[in-house]
Chain A
């Protein structure tokens, strides 16, 4: 009988039920979209912040202590290098997926037309394949993505894959002006270790010291330096979590952490734990955070996440009120019918159970529809803003369901209270 009354109610009241379901769907879609966007906004903004370039630098361990002794007088430098094979290790660490880009750098003073020129060897868009313990790790990486702010004023980026050989260079605007170089020109660069004839692929404007430098492929720089198969420094751009107390504590000395703290720290993408893992993978290297980038990233992420959280909260409150509002008026509207049921002897408990079952079933249908609408909205937001899809969290589906049920119940409360107080004669006589 109970079941029949419910299906009966749906058949007779389908318009109102549809309206309630629709409102619930709208509310649920707001909740779904906003919660999902909120949960993934950190990652998305983090990816955008990679435009600022690397947030970790890796240098040979010993260099951190002594190489700067001779910083001013380069010729006497007893340079220390890292072997090129170690670059592949970046792909093997725990947080390898968070490492977006990296490049080795090898700089050396050289002369062009008798003029002192700083030469830097790097990967531009290098294809790296690294085999370790039978697993092959592959990645295209280089400074193309680590110098997003470079404007190419003439020519193009140095494209390692398309160009034949490695004798190419990109020249900073300032240097290009003094050497009168433009894209397509060839010139000769000389060091103690030999000379190379390079072709200019592009001239760049960077707004910093690099405008006075000459960038060439790593292999060319290695020949000019006499350091085959080696590099001096690596820039790494990684997606990191903002530092918190644990990270600060760990940064001082990871050995002071308790076992649990250590595990948590190690398995969180703090810049310090990523540095630590790089040093584990490459024992002869020392990795450290570039504070300007790492700190600011943390701050901006934190602000963005908080902002989105509060906007989400506001939307949730709005959605909640919207739903409970309509549920209340929807149930109230049926007071006459419910009074009639009371008049024919239905108990309060029975009526309440009937009403709540009806309304929750309706709400759940609405929530299901709303979830998919919310999914669509979240994807629209993801595509429009970040040109990538937004990951749907299972937790959100669960949360939205709970929220909808709770809101519907709360929304029905005033109506149910009214029903319980209702004297059937009043309603049936009132006419309205």
Chain B
């Protein structure tokens, strides 16, 4: 049988290599099909992850608040953050609010970490710059309008309080502390000198605050009681988030973690639409492409009816003709599938880099799937015309024009 196998391979290879232009036509069709299969496949699998990151532009989707009505400590915050997988955690920002007075009018100071604030509130529009050191402030647009503040202006909120026995006011300037001559009680008008680094526009309630650094706020109030709220932005789906939060609420004492429903619920709705859009588009395009591949293969085989007739006239059994043509098709399908799956990956990567500016996740499983699908589609597409060609009377084919 050895010689027979060798002849078989020789014939198949001769057909593939010497009928180059025709084989290229067929191969090209398969490569296109396989490219679309693996490319769209990878995009489909990666879209939720990539789009989910895009949805982080809505900002925080989780908030931590103190469960006991006091404040959040650093230790509790760090403990909570450990529950989020680091690749999903975009960032978190602590906030501490204190009411005070500016020009004798009530205002709210918000202490925050300016280094991370744009991670959880990427939509902040800042005229000027974000404060990057103590003594600088970001002023909400309403406040700025109300007090006529512009970038570079200075403002001095004053914290007035009665100095009690246990207070250490040695760090304060002498002129800030005074004693009421009538009662002998000591008072303090602690001044925080700030320069406006930027004006904040959000269209929301943030415009009513004066943002300062946490350490400025600590110096200003002479206390470090912790945070009122911590905003967290995590690139995870609603279900996963809820899982993390349940764990945090159970295991971290003093913390109440909640999803921002407005963000998470809406994200789920829109993402699931997007996913099904890409899925159905993938299916439609794939189905059509596969039909295209099949018609091309059919055309290529149909062309060779006469050759099939000749082989029959030479005494070939139907089964051996089918085997020969099918193996040709399968070799083509395999090669086309391999090339196509690699091209598809490259294409998906180009799409991902262009749209999301990040590389696509390579799905190794798609490689064998693409090759198998290409081989199966090509095989089926070959089988139909071969079968009908084999059924034809060789005498007719050989005589026919």
Direct contact of A and B (CB under 8 A): yes
Interface residues of A (CB under 8 A from B): 16, 19, 22-23, 26-27, 29-30, 33-34, 37, 41, 44-45, 48-49, 51-53, 56-57, 64-66, 68-69, 71-73, 148-151, 205-208, 288-296, 299-300, 303-304, 306-308, 310-311, 314-315, 317-319, 321-322, 325-326, 328-330, 332-333, 377, 380-381, 384-386, 432
**Counting CB contacts under 8 A, is B289 at the interface?**
yes
A30 touches B288 (CB 8 A): yes
- Binary A-proximity of B343-354 (CB < 8 A = 1, otherwise 0): 000010011001
For residue A304, give the distance in angstroms from its CB to the closest CB of chain B.
Answer: 6
**Counting CB contacts under 8 A, is B258 at the interface?**
yes
Interface residues of B (CB under 8 A from A): 21-22, 25, 28-29, 32-33, 35-36, 39-40, 43, 47, 51, 54-55, 57-59, 99, 105-106, 108, 121-125, 142-143, 145-146, 201-204, 208, 258-266, 269-270, 273-274, 276-278, 280-281, 284-285, 288-289, 291-293, 295-296, 298-300, 303, 306, 347, 350-351, 354-356
B22 touches A329 (CB 8 A): yes
A307 touches B36 (CB 8 A): no
B51 touches A26 (CB 8 A): no
- Given A64-B142, A314-B36, A329-B299, A381 and B57 contact (CB-CB distance below 8 Å): no
A385 touches B277 (CB 8 A): yes
A-B CB contact pairs (8 Å), 16 listed = A19-B298, A27-B288, A52-B266, A64-B142, A72-B108, A291-B201, A291-B203, A300-B57, A307-B278, A308-B281, A310-B350, A314-B39, A318-B285, A322-B289, A326-B292, A381-B281
A41 touches B277 (CB 8 A): yes
Question: Which chain B residues border A314 with CB–CB below 8 Å?
Answer: 35-36, 39-40, 347, 351
- Given A30-B288, A296-B123, A300-B55, A149 and B261 contact (CB-CB distance below 8 Å): yes
Most B Cβ at <10 Å: residue of A52, A292, A330: A292
A290 touches B204 (CB 8 A): yes
> Total A-B residue pairs with C-beta atoms closer than 8 Å?
214
B262 touches A288 (CB 8 A): no
- Given A303-B51, A310-B351, A148 and B106 contact (CB-CB distance below 8 Å): no
B298 touches A291 (CB 8 A): no
For residue A323, give the distance in angstroms from its CB to the closest CB of chain B.
Answer: 8
A319 touches B261 (CB 8 A): no
How many Å lie between the Cα of A382 and that of B334 in the bound state? 35
Question: Which chain B residues border A30 with CB–CB below 8 Å?
Answer: 284-285, 288-289
Beyond A56-B203, A319-B292, 9 additional contacts (C-beta under 8 Å) are A19-B299, A23-B296, A48-B269, A48-B270, A207-B260, A314-B40, A318-B289, A322-B29, A386-B277
For residue B144, give the distance in angstroms from its CB to the closest CB of chain A.
Answer: 11
Question: Which chain B residues border A321 with CB–CB below 8 Å?
Answer: 28-29, 32
A306 touches B303 (CB 8 A): no
Question: Which chain B residues border A207 with CB–CB below 8 Å?
Answer: 258-262, 264
Q: Which 10 A-B pairs have the closest CB atoms?
A: A207-B261, A322-B292, A51-B266, A149-B265, A290-B203, A296-B57, A295-B123, A291-B123, A149-B261, A292-B123
Most A Cβ at <10 Å: residue of B202, B273, B347: B273
Question: Which chain A residues border B47 with CB–CB below 8 Å?
Answer: 307
B55 touches A37 (CB 8 A): no
- Given A45-B274, A69-B105, A71-B208, A23 and B292 contact (CB-CB distance below 8 Å): yes
Question: Which chain B residues border A381 with CB–CB below 8 Å?
Answer: 277, 280-281, 284
B295 touches A326 (CB 8 A): yes
B269 touches A310 (CB 8 A): no
Question: Which chain B residues border A333 with CB–CB below 8 Å?
Answer: 299, 303
How many Å lie between the Cα of A319 and that of B122 in the bound state? 40
B57 touches A318 (CB 8 A): no
Question: Which chain B residues border A322 with CB–CB below 8 Å?
Answer: 29, 32, 289, 292-293, 296
A149 touches B262 (CB 8 A): yes
Question: Which chain B residues border A71 with CB–CB below 8 Å?
Answer: 106, 208
For residue A312, give the distance in angstroms from its CB to the closest CB of chain B.
Answer: 9
For residue B257, give the distance in angstroms from its CB to the closest CB of chain A.
Answer: 11
Option from B59, B145, B261 in Cβ contact (under 8 Å) with A292: B59
A48 touches B273 (CB 8 A): yes
Question: Which chain A residues border B33 with CB–CB below 8 Å?
Answer: 318
